[in-house]
Amino acid sequence: MMKNVLSFQKMKMKNKKIVMLTAYDYPSAKYAEIANVDVLLVGDTLGMVVLGYENTLQVTLDDIIYHTKAVRRGAKNTFIIADMPFGSYHISDEETRKNAIRLITETGANAVKLEGGSENRLATIKTIRSISDCEIPVVAHLGLTPQSINSIGGYKIQGKKDAQYQQILQQAIDVEKAGAFMLVLEAIPEKLGKEISENISIPTVGIGAGKYTDGQVLVYHDILGMSDFQPKFVKKYANLEELISNKIGEYCDDVKSEKFPQKENIYYPIED
Ligand code: KIV
């Protein structure tokens, strides 16, 4: 049965860890559902691991819609969160709501996620409230917020110094009050991940936030060894890049040496 916002709340209360994984297309979603992942995130990391951009900033709403539709086809029974890409919730309240509604109605996603860094904190709180008022479940994202790389000066661990530590703790309390039902915490000290998780009642899902968050999220291509980006917080469970390129190499060799196709791969006319 598909989980819902109440299931995640219950999992937190019962100390059952939430497993979130990103997915971007039909096969990745299908494999994740077979593996019983609790929740799929169609993240804007799409830009880096699937579309080959340097960062997430060029991903468009239409990109997320296109990929979320494929993810829904691959995982019909899994709760799906669609990321709101850079620019899709920054212009006006009306446009933000319209974009959040498109993500839900056009894709079959169950919730949206948006990043709220320190620079745009007040705007983010208003935005979470406004989207929640449309009955759309919202996941907040604090700590390192990759859509802010130009204003924060790169991919830096957040909350190491006390002032920023306290600021992120306060933001977590604020996003819960604004109506977020889940909070992604990225690249922060474990102590802060723990303190936030103990001080808010919505589930926290960490990526580089230590082991005390209510769940963990990682990027599909990172855990399977299909991306160039391997930060400390990633555990690589396979090296598919090597496996896939070796196997494609075998296919190339077979064609060139005429080992492929073989009899079993060839059609023949029916003999009377
Ligand atoms: O875009 C994404 O995939 C994310 C995760 C890294 C949490 O936001």
Per-residue pLDDT at 1: 87
Residue 272 binned pLDDT confidence (cut-offs 50, 70, 90): confident
Kindly report the protein residue whose alpha carbon is nearest to atom 3 of ligand 1. 43
- Of 116, 110, 114, nearest to 172 by C-alpha is 116
* Residue 154 falls in which region: left (phi positive, over 0), alpha (psi -120 to 50) or beta: left
Residue 144 has pLDDT above 60, yes or no: yes
- Judged against a pLDDT cut of 60, whether residue 119 lies above it is answered with no
The rounded Å distance from CA 12 to ligand 1 centre is: 21
- Does the annotation count 186 as an active-site position? yes
**pLDDT digits 0-9 by tens, 44-101:** 999 999 999 999 999 999 999 999 999 999 999 999 999 999 999 999 999 999 999 9
End-to-end CA distance of the chain: 54
Structure tokens that stand for 26 in this block = 């039909």
Please report the atom of ligand 1 found closest to the CA of residue 184. Answer: 7
**Contact at 8 Å (CB) between 187 and 157?**
yes
- Does residue 10 have a pLDDT over 90? yes
Ligand 1 atom nearest to 115, measured from its CA: 8
Q: What average pLDDT does range 200-228 have in this prediction?
A: 97
Q: Phi/psi class of residue 233: alpha, beta or left (left: φ > 0; alpha: ψ in -120 to 50)?
A: alpha
Helices (H), 22-120: 26-34, 46-49, 61-74, 93-107
Sequence spans of domains, the chain:
5-239
Does the structure show a pLDDT above 90 at 202?
A: yes
pLDDT, tens only, 148-179? 999 889 999 999 999 999 999 999 999 999 99
Query: Which residue's CA is minimally distant from atom 4 of ligand 1?
Result: 43
Average pLDDT for residues 117-144, to the nearest whole number? 86
Q: What is the pLDDT of residue 121?
A: 57
Question: What is the pLDDT, as a whole number, of residue 107?
Answer: 98
Mean of pLDDT values over 25-52: 98
- With 90 as the cut, is the pLDDT of residue 229 above it? no
Q: What is the pLDDT of residue 271?
A: 85
Asked if pLDDT for residue 117 goes beyond 80, the answer is: no
Atom of ligand 1 nearest to the CA of 217: 7
pTM of the model: 0.96
Average pLDDT, stretch 168-192?
Answer: 96
Residues with CB under 6 A from ligand 1: 22, 41, 43-45, 83, 141, 184, 186, 207, 217, 219
Q: How far, in Å, is the centroid of ligand 1 from the Cα of 258?
A: 44
Residue pair 90/119 in contact by the 8 Å Cβ criterion:
no
Average pLDDT of the chain? 95
Q: What pLDDT score does 122 carry?
A: 62
Q: Which of 34, 143, 135 is nearest to 78 (CA)?
A: 34
Q: pLDDT at residue 25 above 80?
A: yes
Q: What is the pLDDT of residue 230?
A: 82
β-strand partners of 79: 39
Helices (H), 200-239: 220-223
Position 195 confidence tier, pLDDT thresholds 50, 70, 90: very high
Q: Which of 140, 160, 111, 148 is nearest to 200 (CA)?
A: 140
Report how far residue 85's alpha carbon sits from residue 45's, in angstroms, rounded to the nearest whole number.
Answer: 10
- Tell whether the model's pLDDT for residue 120 goes beyond 80: no
Q: What is the mean pLDDT of residues 93-116?
A: 97
- Please give the backbone phi and psi of residue 215, each rounded to the nearest 5 degrees, phi first: -160, 180
- Per the residue annotation, which of 186, 195, 198, 271 is the catalytic one? 186
Angstrom distance (rounded) from CA 139 to CA 111: 7
Report how many helices (DSSP H) and strands (DSSP E) the chain contains, helices first.
11, 8
Give 249 Cα–ligand 1 centroid separation in angstroms.
32
Look at residues 76, 79, 86, 46 and name the one whose alpha carbon lies nearest to residue 63. 46
Among 20, 39, 42, 44, which residue has the most ligand 1 atoms within 8 Å of its CB, making it the best to mutate?
44
219 Cα–ligand 1 center, Å: 7
Fold of 5-239: TIM Barrel (3.20.20)
* Torsional sign, CA 115, 232, 226, 54: positive
